[in-house]
């Protein structure tokens, strides 16, 4: 016995270390303790409590899950309080809990996640949807339903699908509400939408109907009619009740509620008639759970459990699946050799003392292993596939989109992260390639608040008595476009009339007032005017404002109501007569080359025709005159010499075609020169202006200055001009006398300037393509409606009538409307000359080949004994002799026969005469003998 009492203290001494007391159990204990922490008396909690209890029963009755081990469930009521939730979590830590199902509240989850991290106990939350809980700060927090990040993505895609831009967000002012709306703001921004106003509601019971009414009155005075409600059920139904009282559940309004409302509709239906009346037409999101036989069976079982008094919502399904997920993870934990053991944290004893009794809290030694088993789970529950991605979020997030109608609701479509909005169930789309194209997005028709099928515009002009402050440039020149009525704040002009006509076409009233911008002594900077919209000084800008890239980056423009582009204006001079005007159609090189070709063709034809054509033979002087005459006469197609050789005819046909083109071009160019005005400047367009070093004028306040600098033109070359008179004076003076070589300005100004100034002309083409529009803040719905109105003005002809009223004032004669004429250059005809030259070359080549062949045939029959020293000169003389020899290929044989016949007859006649003289008879033959 003494030995036993000696050994026992030693065992206790070595068994209790200074780092904590360990309570070890076998690797497969009979019971595993789990906890559940949520608010029992809440819309989510009432359903979750029954679902969790039933799940534990199902797991314990299924021996194939934990193989004999049972789950022991302990529940704590958090009462929607972060404090009570933390107390409940600490109490769990004293009872060797390996995991906690819950909490349902994001606020409570934010607090107890710190406790879970320290004590290494996983939290499986079926209700906390705050997106920030998925951060690395809370590694032991596992969400068994979808994060609000995906729910807000679905909301943003619905807003974008219907073409709305501005959204008002009303949220519960806690972690759940603030972080959810923050996610919504980010997702809207990705689609160029925005939250124009957001307001929180107190999360406690302090909120009253008066506070809600004050909030909604502010909302009613704003322009947006798209309201997203992200609250809890108590405050949510109060918002709808007040909204109905204020008439905000009627036409034009759009209400989108997050899944807090669907949980009530699923669990508490049917709701009281007055409650249903207040939510008619509302769009609601609900986490999608695919159909399955197991789910259908559980719903039937649920009705028996509750007697039909309590419906089953998606939160209850997630709570049920959480227990099954934990059971499978615990089984995997044991299979991997995990041991359920707990240790006291010595830091709590040494740092905090004994007054709080924190030494009773235990660390789950293998908590990390159980956490990994949970995250590696892959099973199918009532909510569908349960599998986590790398961000510890469930895969395949999807939501139902439902529309509250009558005494119930109808599903109008689905949203999934896989393919966006669709009327086809997500599980069907998973078998197809993902398709997020706008053409593939589809929802069924909606019955909107006010029992209308027409899609609301989504905004109205704010009914707060505030007038739009519209900035208008107070111009000093070109006042036909926009000008201030002297002594008043009223404006008139082409731009003002277009704006007024467009506003009158809008289906709602737009109160506004014009605010002058500029001193009226010089044109203001239009870039500064546009910038003042971004600072809030102006709500819009109206005037001759060009739509250019740097401005579209900060504001939105309407559809252009006038075309505008930069053009170059230069002075003109008229040359209608002159002694040498006939030389102007062709350039000098063109004249020289043409003259050379006339002589060339005459020479080539003479060479080809000289041997066979009597008209090209004779004394050298006559032949030279023939060459010159033939060459010049082809200019007028008046040559009388017949061409008999084939090569000569070929060359002449080609040359006559060239002469025809040259004559026609000359005639047209000379006619144009004698009837149009010519530029007195070498500038032919923007490129030649850019390459020169001459001064360039531009209008004060125009974007042309910045644009020309971007194109590489030095600032020292730019001269600011403020009026049409300054334009004319600067162009007339020219660079030599302190003026400018050209003006660069927008086309509408130039057209008005040239309507009364006939000494100047536009050269080249527009080198920018833009237009004038009215400027509004980014994503302003008014810009879209005004664009539609401007298009309507254009289609019905009112826009052209306004233009004619202000801008048709031409005093120049029709003569000034002629276009510029240039000299014809050699480059325009070199192809014709090339063809003609090639034809001449081949004709001469063939001709000389024929001469050489003939020379070779005749050489042996001539002097064979010529010495070697004379052979080269002899060949040259023979070649020249052949080229100069008269050849008549068609008549040479007959002529030779005629000569021989004549010679024969002459010899016979002389023989008869001699016989008569000698007395010999005429029939006797005379033969000579030796």
Count of CA atoms in the C-beta half-sphere (13 A) of 577: 0
Q: 3-state class of 403 per DSSP?
A: strand
Residue found under tokens 């409570």? 108
Structure tokens at 473: 């440039």
Q: Quote the pLDDT of residue 854.
A: 75
Query: What topology does CATH give the domain 679-769?
Result: D-Maltodextrin-Binding Protein; domain 2 (3.40.190)
Q: Looking at residue 708, what DSSP letter applies? A: H
Q: Quote the pLDDT of residue 656.
A: 83
Nearest Cα residue to 261 out of 237, 296, 280, 243 = 237
For residues 127 and 262, what is the distance between their CA atoms, to the nearest angstrom? 14
Mean pLDDT on 681-689: 77
Assign domain 468-564+772-807 to a CATH class: alpha beta
Mean pLDDT on 539-555: 92
263 neighbors 43 (Cβ within 8 angstroms): yes
Q: 3-state class of 496 per DSSP?
A: helix
Q: Quote the pLDDT of residue 880.
A: 64
Give first-to-last CA distance, the chain, whole Å. Answer: 191
Q: Say if residue 320's pLDDT is above 90.
A: yes
The structure's pTM equals 0.66
E strand or H helix at 103, and its extent?
none
Q: Looking at residue 358, what DSSP letter applies? A: G
Mean pLDDT on 668-676: 72
Q: Say if residue 214's pLDDT is above 50.
A: yes
Which residues pair with residue 677 across a beta bridge? 574
Q: Looking at residue 127, what DSSP letter applies? A: S
Percent of the chain scored above 70 by pLDDT? 82
Mean pLDDT on 63-87: 84
For residues 905 and 907, what is the distance between their CA atoms, to the nearest angstrom? 5
Q: Calculate the alpha carbon distances from 420 to 49, 82, 395, 436, 441 in Å.
A: 33, 36, 15, 6, 7
Long-range contacts of 53-59 (CB under 8 A, 24+ apart): 54/301, 54/305, 54/320, 55/319, 55/320, 55/321, 55/322, 55/323, 55/324, 56/323, 58/324, 59/323, 59/324, 59/327
Across the chain, mean pLDDT equals: 82
Q: Looking at residue 388, what DSSP letter applies? A: B
Mode of pairing for the β-strands spanning 562-564 and 770-772: antiparallel
pLDDT (tens digit, 9 = 90+) per residue, 460-482?
A: 877 666 789 999 999 888 889 99
Which residues, 6 or more positions from 123, have their beta carbon under 8 angstroms from its beta carbon?
99, 100, 102, 103, 109, 112, 113, 116, 140, 141, 142
323 neighbors 35 (Cβ within 8 angstroms): no
Q: Say if residue 346's pLDDT is above 70.
A: no
Question: Cβ atoms within 10 A of the Cβ of 550, count?
Answer: 12
Q: Is domain 31-144+307-387 given the CATH code 3.40.50.2300 in the classification?
A: yes
Count of CA atoms in the C-beta half-sphere (13 A) of 43: 22
pLDDT (tens digit, 9 = 90+) per residue, 234-269?
A: 899 999 999 999 999 999 899 999 999 999 999 987
Which residues pair with residue 171 across a beta bridge? 200, 230
484 neighbors 520 (Cβ within 8 angstroms): yes
Q: Say if residue 181's pLDDT is above 90.
A: yes
Structure tokens at 337: 């050799």
Geometric angle at alpha carbon 805, from 802 and 807, rounded to 5°: 100
In CATH, which of 3.60.150.10, 1.20.1260.10, 3.40.1080.10, 3.40.50.2300 is domain 148-294+397-440?
3.40.50.2300
Mean pLDDT on 702-725: 86
820 pLDDT band, cuts 50/70/90, is: very low
Q: Quote the pLDDT of residue 352.
A: 46
Q: Residue 777: what are its φ and ψ, rounded to 5°?
A: -60, 160
* Helix-helix angle 314-335:259-268, to 10 degrees: 100
587 neighbors 823 (Cβ within 8 angstroms): yes
Q: Say if residue 776's pLDDT is above 90.
A: yes
């Amino acid at each position: 016995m003494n030995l036993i009492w000696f050994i026992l203290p030693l065992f206790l001494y070595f068994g209790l270390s200074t780092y904590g007391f360990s309570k070890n159990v076998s690797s497969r204990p009979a019971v595993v303790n789990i906890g559940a922490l949520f608010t029992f008396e809440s819309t989510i909690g009432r359903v979750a409590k029954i679902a969790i209890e039933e799940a534990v029963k199902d797991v314990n009755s299924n021996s194939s899950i934990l193989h004999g081990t049972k789950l022991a469930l302990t529940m704590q009521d958090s009462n929607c309080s972060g404090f009570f939730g933390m107390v409940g979590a600490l109490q769990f830590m004293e009872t060797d809990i390996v995991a906690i199902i819950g909490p349902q509240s994001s606020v409570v989850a934010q607090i107890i996640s710190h406790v879970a991290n320290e004590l290494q106990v996983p939290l499986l939350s079926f209700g906390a949807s705050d997106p920030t809980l998925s951060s690395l700060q809370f590694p032991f927090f596992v969400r068994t339903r979808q994060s609000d990040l995906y729910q807000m993505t679905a909301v943003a895609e619905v807003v974008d699908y219907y073409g709305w831009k501005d959204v008002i967000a009303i949220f519960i002012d806690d972690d759940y509400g603030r972080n959810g709306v923050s996610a919504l703001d980010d997702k809207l921004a990705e689609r160029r939408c925005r939250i124009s106003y957001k307001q929180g509601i107190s999360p406690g019971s302090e909120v009253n109907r008066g506070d809600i009414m004050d909030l909604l009155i502010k909302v009613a005075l704003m322009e947006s009619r798209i309201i997203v409600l992200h609250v809890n059920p108590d405050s949510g139904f109060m918002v709808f009740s007040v909204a109905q009282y204020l008439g905000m559940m009627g036409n034009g309004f759009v209400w989108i509620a997050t899944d807090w409302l669907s949980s009530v509709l699923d669990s508490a239906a049917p709701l009281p008639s007055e409650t249903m009346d207040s939510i008619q037409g509302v769009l609601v999101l609900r986490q999608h759970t695919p159909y399955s036989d197991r789910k259908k069976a559980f719903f039937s079982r649920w009705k028996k459990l509750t007697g039909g008094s309590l419906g089953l919502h998606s939160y209850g399904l997630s709570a049920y699946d959480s227990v099954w997920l934990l059971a499978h993870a615990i089984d995997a934990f044991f299979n991997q050799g995990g041991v359920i053991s707990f240790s006291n944290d010595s830091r709590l004893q040494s740092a905090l003392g004994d007054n709080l009794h924190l030494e009773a809290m235990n660390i789950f030694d293998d908590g990390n292993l159980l956490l990994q088993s949970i995250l590696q789970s892959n099973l199918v529950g009532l909510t569908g596939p349960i599998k986590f991605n790398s961000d510890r979020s469930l895969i395949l997030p999807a939501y139902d989109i439902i529309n509250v109608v009558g005494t119930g609701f109808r599903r109008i479509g689905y949203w999934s992260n896989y393919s966006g909005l669709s009327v086809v169930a997500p599980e069907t789309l998973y078998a197809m390639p993902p398709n997020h194209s706008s053409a593939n997005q589809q929802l069924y028709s909606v019955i909107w608040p006010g029992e209308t099928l027409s899609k609301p515009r989504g905004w109205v002009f704010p009914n707060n008595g505030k007038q739009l402050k519209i900035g208008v440039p107070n111009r000093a020149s070109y006042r036909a476009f926009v000008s201030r009525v002297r002594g008043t704040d009223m404006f008139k002009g082409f731009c003002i009339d277009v704006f007024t006509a467009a506003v009158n076409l809008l289906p709602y009233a737009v109160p506004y007032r014009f605010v002058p911008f500029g001193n009226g002594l010089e044109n203001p900077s239009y870039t500064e005017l546009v910038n003042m919209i971004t600072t809030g000084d102006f709500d819009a800008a109206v005037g001759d404002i060009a739509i250019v890239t740097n401005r579209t980056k900060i504001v939105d423009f309407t559809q252009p109501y006038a075309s505008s582009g930069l053009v170059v204006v230069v002075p003109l001079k008229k040359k209608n007569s002159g002694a040498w005007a006939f030389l102007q159609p062709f350039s000098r090189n063109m004249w020289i080359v043409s003259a050379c070709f006339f002589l060339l063709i005459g020479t080539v034809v003479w060479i080809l025709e000289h041997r066979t054509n009597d008209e090209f033979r004779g004394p050298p002087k006559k032949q030279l005159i023939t060459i010159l005459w033939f060459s010049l006469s082809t200019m007028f197609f008046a040559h009388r010499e017949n061409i008999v050789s084939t090569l000569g005819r070929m060359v002449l046909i080609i040359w006559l075609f060239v002469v025809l083109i040259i004559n026609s071009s000359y005639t047209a160019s000379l006619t144009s020169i004698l009837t149009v005005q010519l530029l007195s400047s070498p500038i032919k367009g923007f490129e030649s202006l850019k390459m020169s070093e001459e001064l360039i004028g531009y209008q004060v306040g125009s974007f042309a200055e910045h644009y020309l600098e971007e194109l590489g033109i030095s600032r020292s070359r730019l001269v600011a001009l403020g009026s049409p008179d300054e334009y004319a004076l600067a162009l007339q003076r020219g660079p030599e006398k302190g003026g400018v070589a050209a003006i660069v300005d927008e086309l509408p100004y130039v057209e008005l300037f040239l309507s009364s100034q006939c000494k100047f002309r536009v050269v080249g083409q527009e080198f920018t393509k833009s237009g004038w529009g009215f400027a509004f803040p980014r994503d302003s719905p008014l810009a879209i409606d005004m664009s539609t109105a401007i298009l309507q003005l254009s289609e019905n002809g009112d826009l052209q009538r306004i233009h004619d009223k202000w801008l048709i004032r031409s005093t120049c004669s029709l003569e000034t409307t002629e276009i510029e004429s240039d000299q014809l250059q050699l480059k325009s005809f070199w192809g014709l000359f090339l063809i003609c030259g090639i034809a001449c070359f081949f004709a001469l080549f063939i001709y000389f080949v024929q001469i050489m062949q003939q020379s070779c045939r005749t050489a042996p029959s001539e002097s064979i004994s010529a010495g070697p020293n004379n052979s080269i000169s002899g060949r040259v003389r023979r070649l020249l002799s052949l080229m100069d020899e008269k050849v008549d290929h068609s008549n040479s044989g007959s002529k030779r026969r005629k000569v021989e016949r004549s010679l024969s007859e002459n010899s016979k006649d002389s023989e008869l005469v001699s016989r008569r003289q000698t007395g010999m008879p005429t029939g006797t033959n005379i033969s000579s003998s030796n």
